[in-house]
Amino acid sequence: MKLEIVGEEVIKPASPTSEHLRTAQLPLSGHLVPPVYVAAVFFYNTEEEIAALTLKKSLSLTLNRFYPLSGRIRGASINCNDEGVVFTQAKTDCLLSDFLRNPNLDSVKQFLPSDFTTSGDPPEKWPLLHVKLTLFRSRGMAVSVCVSHKVCDAASLAMFIHGWTSTAKGHSDSASPEFAAPTFFPTPDPSLDSPISDEIFDVGKPCVKKRFVFDASKIVELKKRAASIQVSNPTCVEAISGLVWRCARKVSGKTTPLVMTQAMDLRRRIPSTHLPHNTIGNLVFAFFLKAGPEEKIEIQEIVANSRKAKEGVNEMIKENLGGVRLGEKMRNEMVNYTKEITGEVDVYNITSWCGMKFYEADFGWGNPEWVVPGAVYPRKIDDVGVILMDAKDGEGIEAFVSLIEQDMSAFEQDQDLLAFASPNPTVLI
């Protein structure tokens, strides 16, 4: 597939940001993570001729409410200087129907914006948001949205997308986001400073990314297999995560301990009286499970251990709710967590984007036919792990798995996996 860039410009907020809003502090989690970008690519089967104009005009209006995204990182804060976001236009000679008939995740990378982490520019010059519109031949388009993980997590990305699509359709009642993350997560003091080095994402070899789809009926079967006395009714995410990690561990040739980390959206666990659910920021906590390279762990045990770890986090939240105690407690726990995963271990990151309603991203020309989660890492080397996302039908789940090539060759032939998942089926339009 050939893709040609036909234009690039900077989009600024429709109105200048007020002086008293010109500085926004980064929360602890934003300070700790390296310069990773979170991205999503939306594919639409449409002939909308004014798509670029609609997207740019509504984006400018949306930035009035999401004003930090048009600023730049400056130390431990965001300089909300309205410098703007980058909007790139491209075209391809490929037909959307051909692309979706046999979706290629390597080709999806071409729809993502440029990787500013390799541009040579210092981080304070990198845009926090980059949008790319690609038009297919004859019909169809891809809209990709890439945002700095220091400022946004996946839930924040979803809130921005929903706010943008609402504005594009002329709705004036779009809720304004809250930038209250730094209030909840105190800025770290130097003695606790332990940023996650981007080395943790460098597995030494380029990764291969593959897609596996779990239909609703197969998820029901998998949940039964994952059930145990400790967890009689696993969630869909728990069951699939347990299966994927077990299969990935089986094919790994590593001799160091293996760690599964799983991100948790704090908005779903902390009462809105303490943390508004429309808060923008990197508001994730994580738990991890560690196992030796020779340890054999069944899905039921993985699920039970995951549930126990999550309940431990819930209990910690309950015990420390009130004032700044919870933020300080989680700050300390997060710093300790970063130390645990930067030692002599191999890390598998599992993230769930389920329930974030990405398939409701309608700019006025209908819902997307397919949504692909993505990320841009330093040095263009992916981490190993998986992102789970709701399928278009709202009942199945798609798993986007990234492993080093030799491990993926064995992983995609694992019979335990194939008993529940279909490898890269056609996307129907």
Dmax of the chain from CA atoms?
59
Catalytic residue among 82, 215, 346, 362: 362
CB atoms within 10 A of CB 202: 14
Distance CA 220, CA 217 (A): 5
Distance CA 380, CA 374 (A): 12
Amino acid, res. 358: F
Look up 362 and say whether it is catalytic: yes
Residues 65/110, Cβ–Cβ less than 8 Å: no
Q: CA angle at residue 124 from 119 to 129, to 5 degrees?
A: 75
Q: Which residues contact 249 (CB under 8 A, 6 or more apart)?
A: 258, 291, 297
Distance CA 249, CA 205 (A): 17
Exposed, middle or buried, 8 (CB in 10 Å: 0-12/13-18/19+)? Answer: middle
Catalytic residue among 149, 162, 382, 390: 149
Beta strands 77-79 and 23-25, pairing class: antiparallel
Residues labelled as active-site residues: 149, 362
